[in-house]
Structure 1
Amino acid sequence: MGFFKRTAVCLLAGAAAVAGAYAADYDVRDFGARGDGISLDTKAIQAAVDRCTRGGGRVVLSGGDFLSGTIRLKDNVTLVVERGARLLGSTDVADYPHQRLDFRFYGDTWVYQSLIFAHNAKNIGIEGGGVIDGQGGSPAFAKTTTKKPDRYRDRPYLLWIAGCEDVRVRDVRLQNSAMWMQSYIRCDRLRIENITVFNHSNKNNDMIDIDGCRDVVIRGVIGDTDDDGITFKSTCDRVSENITVSDCILSSHCNALKFGTETTAGFRNVTIANCVIRESACKNTIYGFPEGTAGLALEVVDGGVMENVTISNVVIDGPRVPLFIRLGNRARKHYDGAPEPGVGSMRGVRISNLVARSSSPVSCSVTGVPGAYVEGITLSGCRFVCAGGGSAADAAAPVEEHETMYPESTMFGNLPSWGLYVRHAKNIGLRDVVFELKGGDARPTVVLDDVHGAVLDGLRAEGRAQGVEVAEKDCSGIEEK
C-alpha cells in the first residue's frame, strides 16, 4: 500500500474512533436536565447513567449548576463534571434514599446515604475538572443531638463506592460534604488521582476513607479537612492492602494521614511517599485543633493486623504531635452480633526521611499495651523539631495505660519525654534520628519503658537540648551506638 493510501486509511480509522467516542457521550441536558442550580436534575442525570451503562461511555455535565439527590453509578459509566460545571447536592434529605449493601460493616444501620453511590459496579469513573459540592453545611444536615447513632443519620456522604472493581476518581474538586467526603469500602483496583478536596462544612468531615480495599493508588491529592485526612479503615471483614500513596499535600484539624480507628481486619502492604502535611487554611474548628492533632497516626485497637508499612520522604509542619503509633484494645465489634475481637498486632513499620515540627509539649509516641507489644518499628534518617515546654513533674508522672480508650495522640498528656516515648515494644530501631528542642524542657529526650530489643544508632540532639538523654525502665537488649 502506498503512503497516501495508508494515510487515508489511518485518517478514516481516526475519524471512526472519534465518532465512537462522541457516540458514547451522553449530555444530561438531552435527558431533561436544566443545569440552573434550582431545578432538581436527579432523574435526568440518572436516566443518562442508565442509558450509558448499556454500552458504556461518559455522562457529561457541562456549563451549569446541576442540583441533584442520589445518583447511582453503574457498570462502564464515567461521570464527567466538566470544568465550569458544578454538581450540587440537594439540601432536602428526602432526595437521598437509604442504600443497603450486601455485607456487614460498622455503621451499616445508621450511615446509608450519599450523593454519588455505586454498589457492585465495574469500570466506573468520576472526572472532568469541575466541582462536586455536597452543600453539607445546610441547616438540613445540622445535627444537634450527640446521641449515637442518631447524630450520624441523614448526613449523606459525597461519594460512597462499595464492593466495586476498577474505580477511577480524578481531576475534580470535591467540597462540603455533610459527612465523610469519600468512602470506598471493599473495592478492588481503585485509583484516586489529582483531586482537590475541601471539607469543613459539618462534623465527621474526613477527606478520603479507604476501608477493606485492595490494589489502591492515591496520587496527587491536595486536601484540607476538619476531620481526618487520608484515612485507612477496616470496618468490614477485609484487610486494606496493596496500597500506595504519593505526592500529596494534606491538611487536617485532626489526623492528616491515619490508620484506624476501626481495624477489624487491618492493613497490609502499604507505602506512603513524597507527601507534605501542613496546617489547615481554615482556622475555625469543629473537631481537633487549627494546627492539627497529629501528622501521622498509626492505630490498631479493634483487633486486626498492621504489617509491612513503609513511609518515606514526608514533611510534617506544625500539628500538635507529628507521629503517633498505638496498639490498643478497644475491641469494638464491626457489627452487633459479630465476635468480639482480640488484641491485634502491629509489626514491620519503617519510617524514613521524615522531617517534622510539633506545636505542643506532647512528644511522639510508640505504644502497645501490657502483654501485646508493638514490634519491628524503625525510624531512620528522621528529624523532629519539638516545641518543648515539659516540666519535671511531667517527667516523673506515671503514664496511664488507657488500654480501651479511643486512640488519640494527646491521650496520655504531656508524657515523660520531649522527643519520643516508647512503651510495650520489641525490636525497635532508631537510626540517625535528630531531635531539636525549641523551648525549655525538664524531661529526657527519649523514654523507653518495657522495651525489649532496640538499636539506638546515631541519635543527636540540637537546639536547647543538652545532648541526648535516654531514660530506660524495665528494658532489655538495648544497644546504643
Structure 2
Amino acid sequence: MLKPFLIMRNYLFILLTSISTLTRAADVEVTTYGAKGDGLTVNTTAIQKSIDACAASGGGKVIFPAGHFMSATVVLKSNVTLYLSDGCTLTGVKGAANYPYQQVSIPFYGENWAKQALIFAHKAENIGIEGPGTIDGQGASFEINTIKKPDRYMNRPYLIWFVACKKVSVKQVHLRNSAFWMQHYLGCEDVVIDGISIWNHSNKNNDMIDIDGCKNVRITNVNGDSDDDGLTLKSTSKLISENIVISNCVFSSHCNGLKFGTESTGGFRNVTISNIVIKPSAQLTTIYGKPAGNSGISLEMVDGGIMENISISNVAIDGPQVPLFIRLGNRARKHTDNAADPGIGVARNIHISNVTATGADITGSSVIGLENAIIENVSLSNISISSSGGAKADAMFRKLETLADHYPEATMFGPLPAYGLYVKHVKGIRLNDIRLSFTGDDERPAIALENTSDFELRGLNMASTANTNAAVYLKNVANGFVTANSVYTPAKYFIWKEGAAGNVSVSNNQHPKIKSVSNQTTKK
C-alpha cells in the first residue's frame, strides 16, 4: 500500500520543484512593459518595470530584442541579468539630470562627485549583463565647462557602476562611449568579466575597466581601447583589491595599458596577470596621453596601502613610451575628508616575466621607491626591451628629484640614468635573462642601480656605444652578484661604480670589445 503513496509523493515533489524553478527563472522581454526600440522613445520606466518584475518573480533575464533602446539610469536587482540580443543597442540619453545621484555604503575617494551611472547596482547578488548587443553612453554629449577639481568630474555618469555586489557576471557585450570611466566595480566579490569589447574615446577620464577594492575577480578575453587608463586596479577605499586573475586580453590605451593605482588606500594583493597584448590605440587623436600610450605596465603605490604577491607574465608591449614602471611614493591622499592621513605604503613580492616590449622612447623603465620606503623582493626575468635611444653619456649622472608626493607617472622623472632599466631604493631584486637594446644610439648604461642592496644581475644582454661610460652603473649598492652577462659592443667600462659598492661580486661576464671591467674609482 505504500507504493502508490510514494509515487504520489515523488510526483508532487517534481511538480513543486518545477514550479519553484519556473518562479526563480522568469525571463522578461522589455517590450512586454512597453519598451520601444525605435531610437526615440525613452524607455527608462519600461526597463525598470521589467527588472523589478523579473526580480519579484525570483530572477532571470531581462531581454532586449534587436532594436535601439534609449534609457536613463536603471537599477539592477538581485538575480537579474540584462541580456542584449544581437542587433540591440541600449543607449544612454543625453543630459546629466537624467542620471540621479546614487548613495552607496562604501566611503571612497570620489563619493562626493562620481555617483551617477546608466546601469547601477548596490548590494545586489547574482547579477549580470550579457549578450552580443551594445551599450552606448553618448559620452561626448556631457560637456566639461571647468578645469576645477572636483567639479570637472561631476555630472558625467559611468556606463556601469556596481557597488558592494556579489556574484557579478559581465560577458560578451560591446561597451561604447562612456562620459566617465566605462565601468567601475567598487567593493564587489566574485566578479567575472569575459569576452567583452570596449571602446572609450569620447570624454576625459575614459578608463576601460576599473576594479576597485574587489576580491575574487576573473577577467578574460577582453578586447579594449580607451583614451585614459586601460585595465585598472584601484583602491579608493580601505578595501584591498585581491585574489584577481587577468588573462588572454588585448588592451590599447593612450595612457597606461595595465595599471595599479593611482589610488592605493587599501592596496593590491594576490594578483596574477598573463597572456596580455598591449598595443597602440586605433584612435589617433587623443584627449589624454599619446596615441601609442604612456606606459605598458604601471604599478603605483602612493596613498598608503600594501602591494604584494603580484605575478605578471607573457606580455607583448608595442608602442608605449615606457614599458615598465614600478613606483612607491607618498602622495598620502586621504580617501575621504574625515579619514586619517595614510602612512607610507608597502610594495613587495613582485614578479614579472616573459615580456617583449618594442617602440619605447628615450625615458627608460624603472623601479623606484623612497629612502624611507624601500621596495622589496622584485624579480624580472626573460624580458626584452627595445627603445628609441637618443641620450648622451652624461645623462647617466643626472640627479633625479625625489618627487615623493607627486602624482605618479612613468615619465615623471624625464630621461633616466639608464636607457633600459633604472632601479633605486630597492632591497632584493633579481634581473635574469634580460635583453636591452635601442634603435638609435644611446650613450647611457643599459642598467643603473642606486641605493639598492641584495641584487643579482644574471644573463643580461646589453647594447652600448663607444661613448658609453659603462654598460652597468652601480651607485651606493651592497650585496650583489653581476655574473654571466654579455655586451658585444664597445664601451669605456663594463661597470661604473660610484659611492659605496660593498660585497659586490663580478664574474664570468662577456664583453670582448670592452677592455676594462670597472672604472674602479669613485666619481666626485
Q: TM-score range by the shorter chain?
A: over 0.9
The aligned residue for residue 3 of structure 1 is: none
Q: Does 1:220 align with 2:221?
A: yes
Q: Does 1:472 align with 2:474?
A: yes
Within 5 A, what are the aligned runs for 1:423-462?
423-462=424-463
Please say which of residues 304-313 and 354-363 is displaced more in the overlay.
Answer: 354-363
The aligned residue for residue 6 of structure 1 is: none
Moved over 4 A (4+): 19-23, 462-468
* SS of alignment partner, residue 306 of structure 1: strand
* SS of alignment partner, residue 247 of structure 1: strand
Contact 2:208 2:231 in 1 (8 A): yes
Contact 1:365 1:422 in 2 (8 A): yes
Residues 1:165 and 1:260: Cα distance change in structure 2 (over 3 Å): same
The aligned residue for residue 121 of structure 2 is: 118
Q: What is the alpha-carbon distance in structure 1 between the residues aligned to residue 276 and residue 254 of structure 2?
A: 17
* SS of alignment partner, residue 46 of structure 2: helix
The aligned residue for residue 104 of structure 2 is: 101
Count of matched residue positions in the alignment of Structure 1 and Structure 2: 466
Letter in 1 for 2:55: T
Q: Does 1:130 align with 2:126?
A: no
Q: What is the alpha-carbon distance in structure 1 between the residues aligned to residue 220 and residue 323 of structure 2?
A: 22
Contact 1:460 1:467 in 2 (8 A): no
Per-residue deviation, residues 396-427 of structure 1 (Å, max 9, x unmatched)? 22111111000000000001111000001100
* SS of alignment partner, residue 44 of structure 1: helix
Identity of aligned residues (%): 50
Contact 2:302 2:332 in 1 (8 A): yes
1:80 to 77, 80, 83: 83
What's the CA shift for 1:464? 6.5
The aligned residue for residue 298 of structure 1 is: 299
Q: What is the alpha-carbon distance in structure 2 between the residues aligned to residue 77 and residue 450 of structure 1?
A: 55
The structure number with the bigger radius of gyration is 2
Letter in 2 for 1:423: K
The aligned residue for residue 360 of structure 2 is: 359
Q: Does 1:67 align with 2:70?
A: yes
The aligned residue for residue 241 of structure 1 is: 242
The aligned residue for residue 53 of structure 1 is: 55
Q: Does 1:92 align with 2:95?
A: yes
* SS of alignment partner, residue 257 of structure 1: strand
Q: What is the alpha-carbon distance in structure 2 between the residues aligned to residue 390 and residue 218 of structure 1?
A: 39
Q: What is the alpha-carbon distance in structure 1 between the residues aligned to residue 371 and residue 359 of structure 2?
A: 28
What's the CA shift for 1:25? 1.5
Contact 2:25 2:59 in 1 (8 A): no
Residues 1:419 and 1:100: Cα distance change in structure 2 (over 3 Å): same
Per-residue deviation, residues 419-458 of structure 1 (Å, max 9, x unmatched)? 0000011000001111122111111111101001101111
What's the CA shift for 1:390? 1.2
Contact 2:359 2:386 in 1 (8 A): yes
* SS of alignment partner, residue 381 of structure 1: strand
What's the CA shift for 1:468? 7.4
Q: Does 1:31 align with 2:33?
A: yes
What's the CA shift for 1:387? 1.4
Q: Does 1:252 align with 2:258?
A: no
* SS of alignment partner, residue 228 of structure 1: coil
Q: Does 1:412 align with 2:404?
A: no
Within 5 A, what are the aligned runs for 1:163-312?
163-312=164-313
Q: CA RMSD in A?
A: 1.8
* SS of alignment partner, residue 358 of structure 1: strand
Per-residue deviation, residues 76-128 of structure 1 (Å, max 9, x unmatched)? 00001111000000102211011010121001001110000000000000001
Q: What is the alpha-carbon distance in structure 1 between the residues aligned to residue 295 and residue 95 of structure 2?
A: 35
Letter in 2 for 1:473: K
What's the CA shift for 1:373? 0.5
Letter in 2 for 1:281: A
Please say which of residues 121-130 and 30-39 is displaced more in the overlay.
Answer: 30-39
What's the CA shift for 1:144? 2.4
TM-score (norm 1): 0.94
Contact 1:181 1:208 in 2 (8 A): yes
* SS of alignment partner, residue 140 of structure 2: coil
Higher relative contact order (CA 8 A, sep 6+): 1
Contact 1:459 1:468 in 2 (8 A): no
What's the CA shift for 1:394? 2.2
Please say which of residues 266-275 and 428-437 is displaced more in the overlay.
Answer: 428-437
Q: What is the alpha-carbon distance in structure 1 between the residues aligned to residue 161 and residue 350 of structure 2?
A: 30
Per-residue deviation, residues 202-229 of structure 1 (Å, max 9, x unmatched)? 0000000001000000000000000000
The aligned residue for residue 517 of structure 2 is: none
Per-residue deviation, residues 299-357 of structure 1 (Å, max 9, x unmatched)? 00000000000001110011000000000000000000100001101000000111111
What's the CA shift for 1:392? 2.7
Contact 1:438 1:464 in 2 (8 A): no
Q: Could you list the runs of 5+ residues in structure 2 that have no partner in the other structure?
A: 1-10, 484-524
Q: What is the alpha-carbon distance in structure 2 between the residues aligned to residue 72 and residue 464 of structure 1?
A: 62
Q: What is the alpha-carbon distance in structure 2 between the residues aligned to residue 468 and residue 34 of structure 1?
A: 70
Letter in 1 for 2:31: R
The aligned residue for residue 373 of structure 2 is: 372
Contact 1:461 1:467 in 2 (8 A): no
Contact 1:436 1:464 in 2 (8 A): no
Letter in 2 for 1:188: E
* SS of alignment partner, residue 417 of structure 1: coil
Q: What is the alpha-carbon distance in structure 2 between the residues aligned to residue 82 and residue 75 of structure 1?
A: 21
The aligned residue for residue 336 of structure 1 is: 337
Q: What is the alpha-carbon distance in structure 2 between the residues aligned to residue 464 and residue 169 of structure 1?
A: 51
Within 5 A, what are the aligned runs for 1:311-350?
311-350=312-351
Residues 1:314 and 1:229: Cα distance change in structure 2 (over 3 Å): same
Please say which of residues 438-447 and 263-272 is displaced more in the overlay.
Answer: 438-447
Q: What is the alpha-carbon distance in structure 1 between the residues aligned to residue 266 and residue 31 of structure 2?
A: 44
Contact 2:443 2:464 in 1 (8 A): no
Contact 1:65 1:86 in 2 (8 A): yes
The aligned residue for residue 507 of structure 2 is: none
* SS of alignment partner, residue 260 of structure 2: strand
Residues 1:197 and 1:312: Cα distance change in structure 2 (over 3 Å): same
Residues 1:21 and 1:380: Cα distance change in structure 2 (over 3 Å): farther
Q: What is the alpha-carbon distance in structure 2 between the residues aligned to residue 81 and residue 477 of structure 1?
A: 59
Letter in 2 for 1:114: A
Q: What is the alpha-carbon distance in structure 2 between the residues aligned to residue 132 and residue 462 of structure 1?
A: 48
Contact 2:442 2:464 in 1 (8 A): no
Q: What is the alpha-carbon distance in structure 2 between the residues aligned to residue 393 and residue 30 of structure 1?
A: 73
Please say which of residues 456-465 and 313-322 is displaced more in the overlay.
Answer: 456-465
